[in-house]
Amino acid sequence: MKDEHEFFPADALPWRPGPQPGTAEKVLSRDPADPDVLTRLVRWDPGFATDAGVIRHEWAEEVYLLEGDHHDLTLDTTFRAGSFAARPPAMPHGPYRTDNGCVMLEIRYRA
């Protein structure tokens, strides 16, 4: 289970370095027993690109693009604020890049 939180000002949380250079995150909630299970805001700097090729992971995730652009290199499609993705475990996706930067809400859980 993720940490319990009543409403709090997420804007007051500082951006912390993300798992890759060129990214930052604000972890809103995390499962202490399973650190991959979390809810976070993720920011990608302008020009950031994923370097792992097509991505697959063990958790389910939902991603909502809040700001900026998010280009899927496999689909050759650029997504913008208001775009949403829901991915079951092991679903292939990406790789990605952003020209102008983006901010996403990412929710991860075990299916």
8, part of any domain: no
Block residue for tokens 């370097």 = 51
Say how many domains are in the chain.
Answer: 1
Peptide bond into 89 cis (omega under 30): no
pTM score > 0.75 for this model?
A: yes
**Predicted pLDDT at 111:** 86
CA 66 vs. chain centroid, Å, equals: 11
- In tens, the pLDDT along 31-47 reads 999 999 999 999 999 99
103, part of any domain: yes
Structural domain for 36, as ranges: 22-109
User: Using an 8 Å Cβ cutoff, are 60 and 99 in contact?
Assistant: no
pLDDT band at 50 (very low <50, low <70, confident <90, very high): very high
